[in-house]
Structure 1
Amino acid sequence: MRADTLAQLNAERAARRAAILVTDVADGHQRLVREADIAADPLSETLTAHLVSGKSGLAAAEGRQLFLTVQVPPVRLVVIGAVHISQALAPMAAGLDLAVTVIDPRTAFATPDRFPGVPLVAEWPEAALAGPVPALDRYCAVAALTHDPKIDDPALIAALRAGCFYVGALGSRKTHASRVARLGAAGFTPDDSARIHAPIGLDIGAVSPAEIALSILAQIVATLRRERIRAVP
């Protein structure tokens, strides 16, 4: 790989932006296609398909074999609330290669015994999300699960401002209506609030914490795939 191409690839990686390295198998020629440039690329359809899947692989174009190396930022899942649903959600998410962080200022809940191997931040969300880890961006999902506005609302506000691809919140429709009113008072429009998946999770009739966690993960994956398609006009 040429030094300038490697530098460009590393710059996209550092900025948590997707990119695809196109390599001609026959002659080794390489070019880098940034996510923002895919729509105008002659291989836009093929590149989009690989970006949506997040998978590298061979592709044929104009009688030539190409290898597409897909670089997609690791998806982060920030869970607000060290609750029973979070205990079930964290290992499931890890199985999908999501980088999970749990935030909860209630130190009695946010303990390594309850979340073995999971990064825990025992701070209020407004403080925790103001730092570099976990930084929120459009490759982040945020699930607010405490049912406590003092904890959930600041996290939802931070997620909406950061443009996270997925924002979900636990609670009934009545609870969410009150949440939307609070967000409106904080300056968010109805369109902003409409980005929040609430009640959180796909409607699978979930009852147990593990079933609710499953419904949340399914919704996150579905949203991620749709958002990757939208990201390429």
Structure 2
Amino acid sequence: MELSLLSALNAERQARRAAILVTDIASGAQRLVRQHEIDADPLALPLDRQLRMGKSGMVEVEGASLFLTVQAPHPRIVLTGAVHISQAMAPMAKELDLDLVIIDPRTAFATPERFPGVTLLPEWPDEALPRVGLDGYTAFVALTHDPKIDDPGLTAALRSDCFYVGALGSRKTHGKRLERLSAAGFDEAALARIHAPIGLDIGAVSPAEIALAILAEIVSTLRGPRRKPA
């Protein structure tokens, strides 16, 4: 690989941006396609397909054998609320190979005993999120029902490229949430990004079922048709 390609690939990796290295098997020629360049690329469809799967692979295009080396950031979930739903979600997320970060300033809830092996930040979201960072491979989930905790997180998520933004609560609760966020300056297009009611509609009742519904919706969004930057 040429040094310039390697440097460019490393730059995308450090910035948590996806990129695909296209190698012509016959000639050995290589080129790099960054995620924001895919739509205009002649190989847009196969590039998009491999990126959504998050896997490298061989494709045949007009008689040419090409190997697509996919470099995608590790997907993660950042959520506010060290609650029963997030307790149920933690082991499921691990099985799905999704990193999980839980933010909750309520130290009585945010304890290592309740969340073993999980990145736990007993801080206010506006303190923790600038350090955590939110990007196109991050799902943000608000679970506390407390506007003092959830709203700052949602504000940060809506101002980012998070591929998924979800918030727990009834339609009435969400209506009041939308009023607050609208007053904070978000338009209808931005507010429409929030998945609420959160999770796939599977009739979930228990914390574990709600966690399952949320994770299913996150995976569906991650692996579904590629998200256009906001």
| TM surpasses 0.5 | yes
2:177 corresponding residue in structure 1: 179
Matches within 5 A, 1:197-216: 197-216=195-214
Question: How many residue pairs end up in the alignment?
Answer: 229
**Among residues 149, 154, 172, which one is paired with 2:152 in the alignment?**
154
Q: Which amino acid aligns with 2:153?
A: A
Q: Which amino acid aligns with 1:225?
A: R
Matches within 5 A, 1:45-84: 45-84=45-84
How far did residue 220 of structure 1 move? 0.7
Matches within 5 A, 1:107-186: 107-131=107-131, 134-186=132-184
The answer to whether the aligner puts 1:192 opposite 2:190 as a matched pair is: yes
Q: SS where residue 229 of structure 1 aligns?
A: coil
Q: Which amino acid aligns with 1:92?
A: M
- CA distance in 2 between counterparts of 1:60 and 1:163 reads 32
* Off by >6 Å, runs of 4+ in structure 1: none
Q: Which amino acid aligns with 1:181?
A: E
Q: SS where residue 100 of structure 1 aligns?
A: strand
Q: Which amino acid aligns with 1:153?
A: D
How far did residue 100 of structure 1 move? 0.7
Q: SS where residue 166 of structure 2 aligns?
A: strand
1:218 corresponding residue in structure 2: 216
Q: SS where residue 92 of structure 1 aligns?
A: helix
Q: Which amino acid aligns with 2:130?
A: A
How far did residue 101 of structure 1 move? 0.4
The answer for unaligned runs of 5 or more in structure 1 is none
Q: Which amino acid aligns with 1:70?
A: V
- CA distance in 2 between counterparts of 1:61 and 1:191 reads 37
Q: Which amino acid aligns with 2:146?
A: D
- CA distance in 2 between counterparts of 1:38 and 1:190 reads 28
1:229 corresponding residue in structure 2: 226
Contact 2:17-2:136 within 8 A present in 1 as well: no
CA RMSD of aligned residues (A): 1.4
Q: SS where residue 130 of structure 1 aligns?
A: helix
Greater alpha carbon shift after TM alignment, 165-174 vs 64-73 = 64-73
The answer to whether the aligner puts 1:33 opposite 2:33 as a matched pair is: yes
Greater alpha carbon shift after TM alignment, 87-96 vs 111-120 = 87-96
- CA distance in 1 between counterparts of 2:2 and 2:188 reads 48
The answer to whether the aligner puts 1:10 opposite 2:10 as a matched pair is: yes
- CA distance in 2 between counterparts of 1:127 and 1:166 reads 21
How far did residue 225 of structure 1 move? 2.7
How far did residue 53 of structure 1 move? 1.3
- CA distance in 2 between counterparts of 1:10 and 1:189 reads 36
CA displacement 1:176-226 (0-9 Å, x = unmatched): 001111111111122221211111111100011111000001111112234
How far did residue 29 of structure 1 move? 2.1
Greater alpha carbon shift after TM alignment, 176-185 vs 89-98 = 89-98
Q: SS where residue 226 of structure 2 aligns?
A: helix
Q: SS where residue 60 of structure 2 aligns?
A: strand
| TM, length-normalised to structure 2 | 0.95
The answer for unaligned runs of 5 or more in structure 2 is none
